[in-house]
Structure 1
Amino acid sequence: MIYFLNYKKGLIITFLLSIAFLLLFYGEVFLNPNEYIFSPSGDGIKNYFTYIYHIKNDTSVHFFNGMAYPFGDLHIFSDGHTLLSSFLQFIPNSEKWAIGFLNLLLLSSFPITSCIVYKLLSSFNVRTFVAVVFSITIMLMAPQYTRLFGHFSMAYSFFIPLTWYWVRQYNLYESKKHTIYIFVLQLILYFTHPYLGVISLIFLLTHQGLIFFIDKSKRVLTFALHTIFQSLLPLFLFQSYVTILDTISDRASYKFNFGASSLDFKGVFFPHRKPFLSIFKGIFNFDDVKWESLCYIGIVNILFLLLIFYRFISKKRKWLRIKKSWIIVVGALGLIYASGLPFKYGMGILDIFPQIRQIRVLSRFAWIFYFTASVFVAIYFNKIYVNYLWTNKKAIAFLFVGLIFTINSWESYSYHSTSSEKMTLCKNPFIENNLSLNQQNEIQSLKHSEYQALLALPYFQVGGERSIHNIKDYDLFYEALVLSYHTKIPLINTCLSRSSSQNLGELSKSLKENYTEQQLRKTFIKDGRKIAVIKGI
């Protein structure tokens, strides 16, 4: 036991510090996860709804019937944690605690991320003290936590470090089990949110491609086959799943506004919160960065990368230095991809690989750069730290470590302090006792046996590539989703992704007074039950 504690002390300290952080900032939600939802509007309430409705009310594992009535859609297009919600369908009464379980899972991403980053840094022989500090600060500033109030299924910041750690273990020891681990992880990522799987795929192909290029010992068929099994086979299986089950023939295959959300580099290198935002704005006078581009790497990483770049251009034998700095090259390639530059100045790529258009929000691929840059700086600083120890300058070494921890913690404080307050503002509306008496009475009056669907007005219909009716009343949006869940009555309105253009057109026609020759009207009449109208402002 003592040997285990000594051997794992760095990992244990990292875990305990992460839990302490979690309790300090998010303790109320962490200890009472089923009492709150993190966001009562927009993508937040919608993604809670598609998750919990699927668990309680859907009869199919694969299909979601809570919106776009009477058509519904594949649940994978609902951003509702398809793998998790489909699994919880098989557990009786799981809807009673499913929101709390999801919240706990999201918050657990903090300690999981720090522990995996610690293991990753240790595999690069980073000293325990340095590894603990950097694993905590990398966790604190990870860009995925901006997703905690909307895109929950993309808030798991550990997926890139875990992919990296396992692929590194495979490269070091040629362990077949790690190929299996990566394969399973990739499948889990695709069925949690396809973007996670694709980002991990790009990381794997870039990482292993560079290793193949710079390491002659890896230029063998076995290495290539393992890489294919780790990265491309899960994608093929996921695409096959969607193709086999998808009954929609006119689903948008390629995003017409591809590249509209490409990366703004200011989101990576300029702070977007206190304490340094005002300083940078005073110097560079830049506009606010769009939310999707927020992937700030921190002032510490920026300063060290500038130092490393200066040393690189001032020294000879640059090719050797590039080979030793392959980590940051992986991140830089991810950054270039996120910017959309290869597609802006080489549009032929999209003609050769048109499937790329399905991944519209390119800026998310900058997450790869955040982690590779942070790990690269940690490894570089570790050399400085060890050099100070060898020259009996321990005080300076510890001072630098303390300074790095202080600056990174200071930068992350603003975000987490604000987030912790926002998380406790809204009680869980999927527990009926948390609703107002008026809402409870509405639920009791809407019987599934009497009403076939709910129609919210002003009408909203989000998810089509061409025809969109944006949400005008977010209070109505919230009310409609809550009523639909509790009454088990689906919505005619929809807020999904890549929906059928024909189906959305039919739904839009249902608002017109002239119902002549409308097939959808015949469907409604044949059902025999009424449609309940929920009116907003």
Structure 2
Amino acid sequence: MKDFKKGILLTLLLSCIVLFLFYRPLLKDPNNVYFSPSGDGLKSYIVSIYHLDHDTSLFRNNAMNYPYGEMAFFTDCQPMITNPVKLLSDIGIDLRPYIVGIINILMLLSIVLAAVFIFLIFLELNVSWWFAAFAAIGIAMVSPQIGRLGGHFSLSHLMWLPMLIWLLMRFDKKKSYLISVAIGLVTFLAAGMHMYFFALFGFLFLFYWVNCIYTKQMNIRDYRWIVHLLIQIILPLILVQIIVGHNDTITDRTTHPWGLTTYRANPASVLLPLGKPYAPFLMKIEKFNTFDWEAFAYIGLVALIGFITGIFQMIQRVRQKQSWWRVSNNRLITVFFWASVASLLLSFSIPFNLGLMFLLDYLGPIQQLRALARFSWLFYYLINLLVFYGIFCLLKRGNLYKILAVLALAFLLYDGYLNVRTYAPRMNNRVPELEDQANISAENEWVNLINKDDYQAILPLPYFHIGSENVWLEPKCDILRQSFIVTLKTGLPSMGVMLSRTSLSQTYKSLSLVSEPVSSFQVINDLQNEKPLLLMVDNCNDLSNPEKNLVRHSSLIWKGPKFAFYQLPVAMLDTISMRGTLAFENEMKIIHDGNADTTRILYYNGFEDNQNADVFYGSGAFSAEIKNWNRIVEQKIKNAQPGDSCEVLFWVKGYETDLMARSIIEFVQKTDDQTVDYKYDQFQHYYSSLKDGWMRIKIPFVAKSTDDLVMVTLRNADLKNFSLVVDEVIIRKRP
């Protein structure tokens, strides 16, 4: 007990020293410091504040995606943190004004908690208190989750994996229902923070319980193991699913989020000290400069040396016909290590990158965990626990090993210093507009001029929409940050979207507002009232033509140095859509009647020879299996002069089908058999209009001669049983 107290105190002391040395500027004024001044991090703060101040439901958030809102878990408003604060405010304990500080302090405290639970794990392994304390804080400092403090807040809490490992070690000694309840509570809370934690927990649970049954610690015929399993895993998952199901009625979220084979780890990004000052030569290798930042989960130099040593020892045991898989004299560490290896292999996208992508079709919700690189985190913790436990076991062999152990701890702390030093300075950010709660600064002068009660929502322009996994409309200029601030200052929800797995039908209804109108805007029917929209227009002059059209039909209210406000009556949206529809119908009527200006309309194909039940116009359309390459245009262009701006247009059916907008376009333009323009991209980057289930694609190009050959080929290998239907192909000079 005396050693336990010494160790805990030393661990806490070392943790506090780390916080003081690296995060002291953040702790001076935690409620006004933003670990990220933009992007995902700022969004997390904004939706959390909005959730507390304006949302009436615990698990719905209306900060973005107006008029629909979103289920809280998909917004990153951290309901496991914000909802207790919300409930406390209902009984008179109002901590809502301090939510930024609460979020920040909890993230930093997770470093301390992680170190404490790593220390407790070492204590279970009978490691000396002083060694355990230094190793614990070092492992916490090197953790790849440190990098999440600057953006992915719900993933930044370091303590969950060490906490579960320790609880399972305690449970292994005593199969107590009380410990199972504690494990179940941790599982529920961690899953509520982010489902990646539940997935990582799954590897530990699977390997632990298989080993538990295999070694007959619990007889498979003994019902008690089922009860423990129910408490630890199944009930927490069911509870999370009940919360999600009760508050989420959306049925058309994507089942195939993008990035499964992109956001993956690599043996080099996990094992090698890439970017470290003691191995600069590694970055001279071109391959090592191409990894996505998600891929990095460096285990540390000491763990790397231990890993290599372990590989040689394993080979030696194989030759000696010993138990090669026994990596430790501790059974649980061995079990957990192999669980982490399985998790590591998944982080490498194994088996999917071995030609087994079809397995995804059978994995259900698991497909939603697209950033596989995060599964390397479990390996990080286990390889370090294993290596430093092994180093401690060597201390008994003499002074040389004691010196090596001290050096190992020193280098672990050095690696930790490098890791924390990289991220800590980036986290000290202020947002002056939000600090100015009295709205007396020049940046906030607009607040007193805008009556928020006159409007129903903000429509930010340039418009942004991220989250459907089908269409990415990236934020331009500074509109994302500024619109977040306006949302908080006014309390008005935003029609902009930066969320996760948004409804496809809702996505396209919103996107239609910033598309070329050829039919009525369906989103109008879903608006909550007849109040006008507050257009927030960035002054960067980077608006699309449809966005400029919205501004032209609006009334200027206020213009500042960064952005301007316009009033857009809802009735004016009907006017815009009717005018656009009429112009489109008149344009097409001229073509259909055979009266098109052939100097401008260079090619037209309505596929009337291909009779089809699905048509955009007439009685024919091109139809084929979309999983194959389908050439819809192969035409030499006449009546065009070199330098003419031209475009290929066509309508494709079924855009609301998941993955349809990620279909591939291959555009080839040739002059005298020489390729002069080549595009290989997705529908989502070239769509211009939406109408009755059809999406219009517009591909711009510049004529290079009077006899260019233009070819357009389409494919979507991910849509296995889906027909490509194309109609109304036009090649024309751009208006």
Opposite residue 280 of structure 1, the aligned amino acid is: L
* Post-superposition CA distance 1:473-529 (Å, at most 9, x none): 2x2211110110121011111101110111111111122464853232355594223
- From the superposition, tell whether residues 519 and 354 of structure 1 become closer, same or farther in structure 2 (CA, over 3 Å): closer
CA distance in 2, matches of 1:416, 1:363: 20
Q: Contact 2:297–2:377 (CA<8 Å) still a contact in 1? A: yes
Let me know the Cα RMSD of the aligned residues.
2.3
Q: Contact 2:460–2:537 (CA<8 Å) still a contact in 1? A: yes
Relative to structure 2, which stretch is displaced further, 377-386 or 142-151? 377-386
- Match of residue 313 from structure 2: 311
Opposite residue 56 of structure 2, the aligned amino acid is: T
- Match of residue 468 from structure 2: 464
2:421 matches 1:420: no
- Match of residue 217 from structure 1: 217
CA distance in 1, matches of 2:414, 2:150: 22
CA distance in 2, matches of 1:408, 1:294: 17
Q: Per the alignment, in what secondary structure is the counterpart of residue 217 of structure 2?
A: helix
Deviation at 1:349, TM superposition (A): 4.0
Which residues in structure 2 correspond to 1:40-55 (within 5 Å)?
Answer: 40-55=37-52
- Match of residue 487 from structure 2: 484
Opposite residue 504 of structure 1, the aligned amino acid is: T
CA distance in 1, matches of 2:110, 2:433: 24
Structure 2 residue corresponding to 1:357, chosen from 360, 367, 385: 367
Q: Contact 1:458–1:536 (CA<8 Å) still a contact in 2? A: no
Q: Contact 2:258–2:469 (CA<8 Å) still a contact in 1? A: yes
Q: Contact 1:30–1:107 (CA<8 Å) still a contact in 2? A: no
* Post-superposition CA distance 1:416-448 (Å, at most 9, x none): 224232222324754334977123212222322
2:498 matches 1:495: yes
Structure 1 residue corresponding to 2:249, chosen from 247, 250, 272: 247
Q: Contact 2:274–2:288 (CA<8 Å) still a contact in 1? A: no
Identify which of structures 1 and 2 has the higher relative contact order when contacts are C-alpha pairs closer than 8 Å and 6+ apart: 1
CA distance in 1, matches of 2:327, 2:291: 34
Unmatched 5+ stretches in structure 1: none
Which residues in structure 2 correspond to 1:112-127 (within 5 Å)?
Answer: 112-127=113-128
Q: Contact 1:62–1:75 (CA<8 Å) still a contact in 2? A: yes
- Match of residue 411 from structure 1: 415
Q: Per the alignment, in what secondary structure is the counterpart of residue 374 of structure 1?
A: helix
Structure 2 residue corresponding to 1:518, chosen from 513, 516, 521: 521
CA distance in 2, matches of 1:367, 1:10: 25
* Post-superposition CA distance 1:76-119 (Å, at most 9, x none): 10012022112222333433111001100001111111111000
Opposite residue 479 of structure 1, the aligned amino acid is: Q
Deviation at 1:140, TM superposition (A): 1.0
- From the superposition, tell whether residues 224 and 90 of structure 1 become closer, same or farther in structure 2 (CA, over 3 Å): closer
- Match of residue 634 from structure 2: none
CA distance in 1, matches of 2:368, 2:517: 36
- From the superposition, tell whether residues 326 and 516 of structure 1 become closer, same or farther in structure 2 (CA, over 3 Å): closer
Structure 1 residue corresponding to 2:404, chosen from 400, 411, 422: 400
Opposite residue 170 of structure 1, the aligned amino acid is: F
More strand by share: 2
Question: Would you say how many aligned residue pairs link Structure 1 and Structure 2?
Answer: 526
Which residues in structure 2 correspond to 1:318-329 (within 5 Å)?
Answer: 318-319=322-323, 322=326, 324=328, 325-329=334-338
- Match of residue 682 from structure 2: none
- Match of residue 236 from structure 1: 238
CA distance in 2, matches of 1:128, 1:239: 41
* Post-superposition CA distance 1:126-174 (Å, at most 9, x none): 1222212211110110110110111011001111010111111111111
More helix by share: 1
- From the superposition, tell whether residues 404 and 485 of structure 1 become closer, same or farther in structure 2 (CA, over 3 Å): same
Q: Contact 1:250–1:502 (CA<8 Å) still a contact in 2? A: yes
- Match of residue 201 from structure 1: 202
- Match of residue 277 from structure 2: 275
Larger Rg: 2
Structure 1 residue corresponding to 2:452, chosen from 448, 452, 466: 448
Structure 1 residue corresponding to 2:23, chosen from 15, 26, 38: 26
Q: Contact 2:458–2:492 (CA<8 Å) still a contact in 1? A: yes
The percent of aligned pairs where both chains have the same amino acid is: 24
- From the superposition, tell whether residues 283 and 310 of structure 1 become closer, same or farther in structure 2 (CA, over 3 Å): farther
Normalising by structure 2, we get a TM-score of 0.68
Opposite residue 18 of structure 2, the aligned amino acid is: F
Opposite residue 217 of structure 2, the aligned amino acid is: S
- From the superposition, tell whether residues 490 and 426 of structure 1 become closer, same or farther in structure 2 (CA, over 3 Å): same
* Post-superposition CA distance 1:266-308 (Å, at most 9, x none): 1101123332340433589732431111100001001011112
Opposite residue 387 of structure 2, the aligned amino acid is: V
